[in-house]
Amino acid sequence: MARHLGTSLISSSFALLVIALTISPSHGFLGTEKKIKSAAFLSPKLEMNPGSVANSYFYDMDFPRGHIAVKSFDAEVVDEAGNSVPLHETYIHHWGVMPYYARKGFKQDPDRNLVLGSGSDYVFVNNAGLCNDVVRPMFGKGSETRKTSTYVPDPYAIEFDSPEERPDGYELKWLLNIHAIDTRGVVDKSGCTECRCDLYNMTTGEYGRALKPGYKGGLYCCYDKTQCPVKHGFDNGEKTRSLFLKYTVRWFDWDSSVIPVKVYALDVTDTWERKEGSTGDIPEHDCLVEYDVEPCKASGDGCVDVKKKSLMMPFNGYIVYGGAHQHSGGVGASLSREGGEGICTSRPKYGNGVEPGNEAGYIVGMTTCYPQEPVKVSYGETLTLEFNYSNAVGHTGVMGRFYIFVAQQLPEPEISLPALFQAQTKSESFLAFLAVTMVVAIVVLTAAVVYRRQNREDGYQSLGI
Ligand SMILES: *[C@@H]1O[C@H](CO)[C@@H](O)[C@H](O)[C@H]1NC(C)=O
Ligand SMILES: *[C@@H]1O[C@H](CO)[C@@H](O)[C@H](O)[C@H]1NC(C)=O
């Protein structure tokens, strides 16, 4: 009898100890793993021919509905059979996802690009900055989409459609922009993917805008329905195909244990300059989005174009994720504090084969940062972006963008034991933790004493642990 008691005391106190040991600052999130849902969706189709360009805007896309916490958003291009399409056939210049509140019953003219105008029927939910409306997406990537982590670390997530934020009479919808270039059989693959103006049959720039003098390549030259030249003799017949962006969302229904993060897109082409009275806020920013890299004069190694930009942060918060976006030729990017202290370095991964996800010469992924301790950023602090490109050859229309997820607060180091032990404030919960630890220690000690006594009575018995 006594022996039975001793053993069960030991096992139950051991269980308690295990619970106590798994307590960590993010334990409020314990169990969320089970709640995460995952769903894959397909965009409407893109009709592609060799050399063709699609820059499509799809409104009211499929997406999980309701007040949700999004953990990741991954995407890739697939064909009608659902097979992954390699970048050397269809180059993904970019895709971007923009949520917007639309007035209920709003009938949208399919030819009207909501991004370009404004109206009372819809309101975009932009990322938190810092570029003005030119860089809105909450989620977005380019060729690196297959091998770049987009996961928001626990216990954080991106919050959408909170009832407090949704305007009355509106509903949240999702816009997807995808810009793809079919490079099967083209004369100059890298020229087509870099949108060199001399290759495309563009007239004026996209939407009839005149090109800036000296503009040699970029988004304004490879707009929707333009064409890049295909090699003579390349069999262009029967090559039309339908492609889709397949996107996979992981999310769960919002609950109060989740800490929201905001998405910031910092751009190295930002023209912001500190002026007297600057706040660093969004209206002060103007991002050019793309830039050219001139070839270096001396040929050989060490030909690296370094572009830097320092920006003042108009927020307090903690960076919990960072990752950059670069185009082919990119050799790394960093985000650092004014004194040089590094916050995140993100490097491109180049493929070395032919299969999707490993296409030679293309950036198939970017490394991302998940700082062990969230990186504190204070209002008014200056952070510096640095983007490196190899300039052994020149490049047009490259990008330098750093995405960061910023939490406004850190998790409370509370204890997720039964409610009995839960305390309201940090110090109380620490005391509760101490108390629990002491109770556990006493139970373990008592149990051990009981057990040893038993063993003395019953003779040697292996613990067998
Ligand atoms: C460019 O070529 C494509 C394919 O031939 C054609 O559909 C498109 O109208 C042309 N665009 C311009 C601006 O000429
Ligand atoms: C960019 O290049 C410069 C000069 O070569 C080098 O000092 C720096 O570390 C590089 N930065 C990154 C992020 O690769």
DSSP states of 82-97: SPBPPTTTEEEEEEEE
**Using CA atoms, how far apart are residues 83 and 60, in angstroms rounded to an integer?**
25
Give the Å distance between the CA of 401 and the centre of ligand 2: 16
Give the Å distance between the CA of 55 and the centre of ligand 1: 14
Query: Could you tell me if residue 393 is inside a domain?
Result: yes
Strand partners for 122: 102, 119
**Using CA atoms, how far apart are residues 262 and 217, in angstroms rounded to an integer?**
32
Question: How many domains does the structure of the chain reveal?
Answer: 2
Query: Could you tell me if residue 281 is inside a domain?
Result: yes
Query: Could you tell me if residue 285 is inside a domain?
Result: yes
**Which residues, judged by CB distance below 6 Å to any ligand atom, belong to the binding site of ligand 2?**
304, 306, 332-334, 345, 386, 388
Instruction: Kindly state whether residues 21 and 35 are assigned to the same domain.
Output: no
Shortest-distance Cα residue to atom 10 of ligand 2:
388
Instruction: Kindly state whether residues 369 and 426 are assigned to the same domain.
Output: no
CB 77 within 8 A of CB 244: yes
Query: Could you tell me if residue 67 is inside a domain?
Result: yes
Instruction: Kindly state whether residues 192 and 335 are assigned to the same domain.
Output: yes
53: Cβ below 6 Å to ligand 1? no
**Using CA atoms, how far apart are residues 272 and 278, in angstroms rounded to an integer?**
10
Q: Which residue has the tokens 């927020």?
A: 315
Query: Could you tell me if residue 344 is inside a domain?
Result: yes
C-alpha separations of 395 from 193, 221, 293, 307, 390 in Å: 10, 14, 5, 14, 9
Give the Å distance between the CA of 375 and the centre of ligand 2: 22
CB 348 within 8 A of CB 332: yes
Where the chain has pLDDT below 50, the residues are 1-28, 30, 419-426, 454-465
Ligand 1 atom at minimum distance from 52 CA: 4
Instruction: Kindly state whether residues 354 and 442 are assigned to the same domain.
Output: no
Instruction: Kindly state whether residues 51 and 185 are assigned to the same domain.
Output: yes
CB 30 within 8 A of CB 417: no
Give the Å distance between the CA of 82 and the centre of ligand 1: 29
Query: Could you tell me if residue 98 is inside a domain?
Result: yes
* Secondary structure element (H or E) that encloses residue 345, with its range: strand 342-346
Instruction: Kindly state whether residues 132 and 235 are assigned to the same domain.
Output: yes
Shortest-distance Cα residue to atom 11 of ligand 1:
226
Domain end marker among 365, 380, 407 = 407
Shortest-distance Cα residue to atom 3 of ligand 2:
306
Q: Cα angle at 395 between 394 and 401, to 5 degrees? A: 135
Closest listed ligand to the CA of 367 = 2
Query: Could you tell me if residue 301 is inside a domain?
Result: yes
226: Cβ below 6 Å to ligand 1? yes
What pLDDT is attached to residue 6?
40
256: Cβ below 6 Å to ligand 1? no
Query: Could you tell me if residue 106 is inside a domain?
Result: yes
Instruction: Kindly state whether residues 89 and 231 are assigned to the same domain.
Output: yes
Q: Which residues form the domain of 443?
A: 2-25+415-458
Instruction: Kindly state whether residues 160 and 300 are assigned to the same domain.
Output: yes
What pLDDT is attached to residue 463?
36
Give the Å distance between the CA of 187 and the centre of ligand 1: 17
Instruction: Kindly state whether residues 94 and 21 are assigned to the same domain.
Output: no
Instruction: Kindly state whether residues 291 and 428 are assigned to the same domain.
Output: no
What pLDDT is attached to residue 439?
67
**Using CA atoms, how far apart are residues 355 and 363, in angstroms rounded to an integer?**
13
Question: What's this model's pTM, rounded to 2 decimal places?
Answer: 0.82
CB 249 within 8 A of CB 139: no
Instruction: Kindly state whether residues 426 and 390 are assigned to the same domain.
Output: no
Closest listed ligand to the CA of 205 = 1
What pLDDT is attached to residue 369?
98
What pLDDT is attached to residue 286?
95
CB 127 within 8 A of CB 311: no
**Using CA atoms, how far apart are residues 415 and 413, in angstroms rounded to an integer?**
7
Instruction: Kindly state whether residues 140 and 13 are assigned to the same domain.
Output: no
User: Which residue, among 225, 405, 432, 242, has the nearest Cα to 323 in the 3D structure?
Assistant: 405
CB 101 within 8 A of CB 166: yes
User: Which residue, among 452, 323, 348, 333, has the nearest Cα to 387 in the 3D structure?
Assistant: 333
Ligand 1 atom at minimum distance from 202 CA: 13
CB 261 within 8 A of CB 158: yes
Ligand 1 atom at minimum distance from 49 CA: 4
**Using CA atoms, how far apart are residues 251 and 249, in angstroms rounded to an integer?**
6
Domain end marker among 407, 427, 444 = 407
